[in-house]
């Protein structure tokens, strides 16, 4: 299949997210780009609830279950809206569908989506390629599991690797979106997975960045006391949408590393979460900065609750990430509120001091409790913290100062080579200029603190193996890539504001120097800011940072002809796995060593594998088969497990991912059974062999 042929499933994934999400947003009188920005997380929440509800009602998951869930949710929201209107508080609109307000943002999102897709898959020749990474095995097989079983519940998905458990929680929204693409368009699971990434990483994230940029900085000038131009909110939002495609850290890095599909899906919603928290804060009139916050407050809180649900169903790690993003904002808001309270009267000042003291004590107690929990979780009394989080992704590979510099320059290490990418110089210059402007602009220093906090967390993960670094970054498994991927959530709005507000300021200065006293026309500002945004974006798109990460993604998705070169698959094995259904009847399970790539027979060929992932808690019978299948001709216990699990097929290949022999030893009995007396060869392709198990059945 060509990439043109993948257009239909990409559109399908966008529709399954944006149609229900926009319907829910419209029910709360959200309009225009704001409605489209909220559609992403609200759509994710709808899909997640539909998956859980369908499983609870014992009906197959499909587009109809998403539609029914959306209709029910819309009716509930319309009822709430009607009650508010009858109480004398009709719900005002947030944003507008006027073409001048929505079309520039939609155009920016379109540009960003095309750029993101083109950069990410520039070196991937076909949409049916799979990511040759550890995590991708689970995610692709999870999609096929939903397609075949009709169970898309996030309460059940982890049964793939915990088959003996009744409830095994893992966020299923990304897999559900891909499964719906399979069901509605008939494409293969690999195509659907790539389409689901394209349909969300581009438009959902770009609309979210536009929303955050407008809420945070749409009404804020470069200097205090100045009134921004009337077109600045749309300009900032449009610039934010375009610039969503410009940072290596997200969305590209998590496609290269991992591949972390659910984590990436959740991070597409982070700008919306940040924007909603800002909109929910009510700043005093005297504050030097206030976000865009159309009332009423209850609607913003309800939307924030909907965002929490959608982000949690996408991946709960997003909830930890948003805490890092909003804490500086909330501290600044609290400080502004207390300062305003203290200025009312001496009595109010005493009250403010008491509130501050109580909050400080509460924070200290919470921090102490969190520290005790972490120490208990890591069992520090028996095992030092230094013994934890020492895996490959968690290992520091450079100096702390170097890592800080990388974060400030908006670049990073690139996997799997772990070599530093060169920075996008023009983008880095604008970002650093924005940080300086934030530091100088009263009321906006919280945004600079947020930016620098993420940079320091990244540096702690990438540049230090100290106990403090492990404690600070443990919630992300000390994974520098997951941490750095948060940076564009604040960096994109900052750069968009720098270009929009700075561009308007520059145009005004130039006009004054030309002895023109009148303010510049809106059209002049629009042209100048748009040109500057496209220049920064275009230079970044073709620069070494994004072309480098595109090349790295191409390596991850490459398919060698006959030698795996430490990957999961080569072309020979992929061919047999894709056509395994010609030999194995539907409904039968294949015994596999997942480390040799054969686990992907489920995702590629539609035949379930006994071990659908490289790691898991499989239960006694599966463990016995994994370790001693070769003993089946002489061990009745092994044959009893084979018969109970109804196993008739064996699929093997001698080459393993990363040439890993240590962890693959857990499946040594499967490898030894290949070619033995208990199996009969049925088909082969290159070094890959499909056998029929005869020891326990003939």
Average pLDDT score, the chain: 91
Whether residue 97 contacts residue 31, with contact meaning beta carbons closer than 8 Å, is answered with yes
pLDDT of residue 124: 95
pLDDT of residue 516: 60
Distance, first Cα to last Cα, the chain: 42
Three-state SS at 649 = strand
CA dist 299 to 17, 318, 583, Å?
Answer: 21, 22, 57
Helix/strand/coil percentages in the chain, nearest 5? 65, 5, 30
**Mean local confidence (pLDDT), 563-584:** 93
649-698 per-position pLDDT tens digit: 999 999 999 887 788 899 999 999 998 889 999 999 999 999 999 998 86
Largest distance between two CA atoms of the chain: 98
For 414, the enclosing helix (H) or strand (E) is: strand 413-414
Q: DSSP letter string over 330-384? A: HHHHHHHHHHHHHTT-HHHHHHHHHHHHHHHHHHHHHHHHHHHHHHHHTTTTTS-
Edge-to-edge strand ranges of the sheet holding 589-592: 589-592, 647-652, 688-693, 679-685
CB neighbour list of residue 435: distance below 8 Å, 6 or more residues apart? 448, 451, 452, 494
Residue 565 has pLDDT above 90, yes or no: no
Residue 136 tokens read as 């991708």
Residue 387 tokens read as 């013994």
Residue 522 has pLDDT above 80, yes or no: no
pTM exceeds 0.75, yes or no: yes
- What share of the chain in percent tops pLDDT 70? 98
pLDDT of residue 515: 59
Q: How far is CA 9 from the centre of its chain?
A: 19
pLDDT of residue 513: 58
| Residue 399 binned pLDDT confidence (cut-offs 50, 70, 90) | confident
Residue 9 has pLDDT above 90, yes or no: yes
Nearest to 598 by CA among 566, 632, 622, 574: 574
C-alpha radius of gyration, the chain, whole number: 27
List the domain boundaries for the chain: 4-371, 385-550, 571-693
Residue 694 to residue 517: CA distance in whole angstroms = 92
Residue 519 has pLDDT above 80, yes or no: no
**Mean local confidence (pLDDT), 299-327:** 94
Three-state SS at 602 = helix
**Mean local confidence (pLDDT), 249-257:** 91
| Residue 416 binned pLDDT confidence (cut-offs 50, 70, 90) | low
Residue 333 to residue 318: CA distance in whole angstroms = 22
pLDDT of residue 415: 67
Pairing of strands 647-652, 419-420: unpaired
Whether residue 36 contacts residue 53, with contact meaning beta carbons closer than 8 Å, is answered with no
| Residue 185 binned pLDDT confidence (cut-offs 50, 70, 90) | very high
Q: How far is CA 351 from the centre of its chain?
A: 43
Three-state SS at 282 = coil
Residue 465 has pLDDT above 90, yes or no: no
Residue 601 to residue 609: CA distance in whole angstroms = 7
**Mean local confidence (pLDDT), 354-366:** 92
CB neighbour list of residue 195: distance below 8 Å, 6 or more residues apart? 6, 9, 10, 12, 13, 127, 178, 181, 187
Q: Is the peptide bond before 270 cis (omega within 30 degrees of 0)?
A: no
Q: Is the dihedral of CA 553, 554, 555, 559 positive or negative?
A: positive
pLDDT of residue 375: 75
Nearest to 276 by CA among 227, 319, 215, 342: 215
Whether residue 215 contacts residue 37, with contact meaning beta carbons closer than 8 Å, is answered with no
Residue 7 tokens read as 């257009």
**Eight-class DSSP state of 657:** G
Q: Which comes out higher in pLDDT, residue 396 or 337?
A: 337
Question: What are the φ/ψ torsions at residue 649 (nearest 5 degrees)?
Answer: -135, 150
Residue 206 to residue 114: CA distance in whole angstroms = 11
Residue 639 to residue 527: CA distance in whole angstroms = 75
Residue 339 has pLDDT above 80, yes or no: yes
**Mean local confidence (pLDDT), 320-326:** 92
pLDDT of residue 417: 64
| Residue 646 binned pLDDT confidence (cut-offs 50, 70, 90) | very high
pLDDT of residue 517: 60
101-155 per-position pLDDT tens digit: 999 999 999 999 999 999 999 999 999 999 999 999 999 999 999 999 999 999 9
Residue 82 tokens read as 């009607």
Residue 190 to residue 194: CA distance in whole angstroms = 6
Burial 480-495 (b: 16+ CB within 10 A, else e): bbbbbbbbbbbbbbbb
110: left (phi over 0), alpha (psi -120 to 50) or beta: alpha
For the chain, the residue count is: 698
Residue 200 to residue 204: CA distance in whole angstroms = 5
Residue 262 to residue 201: CA distance in whole angstroms = 11
Region of poorest pLDDT, from 283-287, 547-551, 567-571: 283-287
Residue 512 has pLDDT above 70, yes or no: no
Residue 639 has pLDDT above 90, yes or no: yes
Three-state SS at 680 = strand
Nearest to 670 by CA among 618, 603, 606, 607: 618
**Mean local confidence (pLDDT), 29-54:** 96
589-635 per-position pLDDT tens digit: 999 999 999 999 999 999 999 999 999 999 999 999 999 999 999 99
């Amino acid at each position: 299949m060509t990439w043109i042929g993948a257009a239909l499933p990409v559109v399908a994934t966008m529709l399954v997210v944006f149609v229900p999400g926009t319907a829910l947003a419209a029910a709360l009188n959200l309009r225009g780009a704001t409605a489209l920005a909220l559609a992403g997380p609200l759509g994710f929440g709808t899909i997640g609830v539909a998956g859980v509800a369908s499983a609870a009602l014992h009906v197959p998951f499909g587009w109809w279950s998403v539609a029914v869930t959306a209709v029910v949710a819309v009716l509930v929201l319309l009822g709430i809206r009607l009650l508010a209107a009858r109480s004398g508080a009709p719900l005002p609109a947030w944003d507008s569908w006027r073409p001048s307000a929505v079309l520039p943002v939609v155009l920016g999102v379109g540009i960003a989506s095309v750029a993101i897709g083109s950069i990410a898959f520039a070196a991937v020749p076909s949409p049916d390629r799979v990511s040759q990474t550890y995590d991708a095995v689970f995610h692709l097989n999870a999609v096929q599991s939903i397609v075949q079983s009709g169970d898309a519940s996030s309460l059940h998905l982890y049964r793939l690797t915990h088959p003996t458990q009744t409830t095994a929680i893992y966020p299923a929204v990304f897999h559900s979106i891909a499964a719906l693409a399979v069901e509605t368009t008939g494409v293969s699971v690999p195509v659907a997975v790539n389409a689901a990434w394209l349909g969300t990483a581009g438009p959902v994230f770009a609309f979210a960045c536009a929303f955050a940029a407008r809420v945070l900085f749409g009404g804020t000038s470069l200097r205090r006391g100045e009134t921004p131009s009337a077109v600045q909110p749309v300009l900032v939002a449009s610039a934010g949408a375009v610039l969503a495609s410009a940072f290596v850290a997200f969305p590209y890095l998590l496609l290269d590393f991992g591949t972390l599909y659910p984590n990436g899906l959740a991070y597409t919603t982070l700008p919306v979460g940040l924007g909603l928290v800002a909109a929910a804060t009510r700043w005093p009139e005297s504050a030097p900065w206030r976000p865009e916050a159309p009332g009423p407050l209850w609607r913003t809180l309800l939307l924030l609750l909907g965002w929490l649900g959608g982000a949690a169903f996408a991946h709960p790690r997003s909830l930890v990430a948003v805490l890092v993003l909003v804490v500086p904002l909330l501290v600044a808001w609290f400080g502004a509120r207390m300062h305003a309270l203290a200025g009312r009267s001496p009595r109010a000042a005493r009250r403010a001091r008491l509130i501050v003291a109580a909050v400080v004590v509460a924070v200290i107690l919470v921090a102490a409790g969190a520290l005790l929990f972490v120490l208990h979780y890591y069992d520090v009394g028996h095992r030092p913290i230094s013994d934890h989080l020492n895996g490959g992704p968690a290992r520091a590979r450079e100096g702390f100062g170097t890592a800080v510099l990388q974060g400030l320059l908006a670049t990073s290490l690139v996997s799997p080579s772990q070599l530093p990418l060169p920075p996008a110089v023009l983008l880095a210059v604008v970002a650093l200029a924005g940080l300086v402007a934030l530091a100088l602009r009263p009321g906006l220093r919280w945004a600079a603190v947020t930016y620098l906090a993420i940079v320091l967390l990244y540096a702690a993960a990438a540049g230090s193996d100290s106990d403090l670094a492990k404690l600070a970054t443990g919630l992300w498994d000390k994974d520098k890539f997951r941490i750095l991927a948060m940076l564009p959530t604040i960096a994109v709005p900052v750069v968009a504001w720098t270009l929009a507000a700075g561009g308007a300021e520059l145009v005004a200065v130039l006009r004054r120097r030309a002895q023109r006293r009148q303010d510049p026309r809106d059209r002049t500002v629009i042209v100048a800011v748009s040109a500057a945004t496209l220049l920064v974006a275009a230079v970044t798109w073709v620069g070494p940072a994004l072309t480098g990460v595109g090349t790295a993604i191409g390596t991850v998705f490459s398919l060698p002809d006959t030698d795996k070169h430490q990957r999961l698959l080569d072309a020979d094995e992929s061919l047999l796995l894709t056509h395994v259904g010609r030999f194995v009847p539907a409904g039968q399970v294949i015994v596999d060593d997942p480390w040799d790539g054969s686990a992907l027979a489920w995702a590629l060929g539609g035949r379930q594998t006994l071990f659908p992932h490289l790691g898991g808690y499989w239960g006694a019978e599966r463990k016995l088969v994994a370790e001693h299948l070769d003993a089946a001709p002489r061990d009745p216990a092994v044959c009893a497990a084979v018969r109970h699990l109804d196993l008739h097929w064996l699929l093997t290949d001698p080459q393993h991912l990363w040439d890993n022999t240590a962890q693959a030893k857990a499946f040594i009995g499967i490898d030894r059974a290949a070619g033995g007396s208990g199996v009969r060869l049925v088909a082969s392709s290159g070094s890959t062999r499909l056998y029929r198990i005869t020891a326990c059945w003939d």
